[in-house]
Amino acid sequence: MALRTIIFSDNPLLRKRSSRVPHITPDIRQLVEDMLETMRAANGVGLAAVQVGVPLRVIVVEIPEDLDDPDAGTSLALVNPELARVSKETEEGVEGCLSVPGWVGNVLRHQEVTVKGIDLKGRKVRFRAKGYLARVLQHEIDHLNGVLFIDRTDEIWPVEEGEEEMVEAEAAALRGAGGTGGLLE
């Protein structure tokens, strides 16, 4: 495993649609391992391959175990993920992004999504996600389509760089108590 460099919002690569992965190879598995290590080192909960300069449709997600959320402890890697279905119900929540350090904002997302893709063994997967996990998945899939959270909001505000995780955790705690949710990816 190796830490990879996270690229920032001024990099034009983040605005391009990522390419589909034709086959699961050892290189793809290595990319996923590197992405997980990079995401963890940056205290994120999700990362798209394009954020480490690899424009392929690969994402990783890891919901912290200590978060008061039904999906706490969830860890997954998806290749060629797509939103197969979205709920009509939406919810605004605080999001941040490892590629947009020092900023967070309120973003409207679907409360529930059905996602399909391929796992690292090459098997097709399809599952439903609600709440925070649904928000994280939508955020990551947006990255694969060249969309950043700042494109989905008119309301952003600065936070101390490295404090995004604390802001997100506070927002997620409020969400668990009936407030709005948040995410740092």
Rounded CA gap, 179 and 133, in Å? 16
Q: Evaluate whether 173 touches 64 at the Cβ level (below 8 Å).
A: no
Residues 111, 109: Cα–Cα separation, whole Å: 6
Is the dihedral angle over the CA atoms 143, 148, 153, 159 positive or is it negative?
Answer: positive
CB of 142 within 8 A of CB of 135? no
* Tokens describing residue 15: 């605005």
- Residue type present at position 174: L
Q: List, by residue number, the catalytic residues.
A: 140
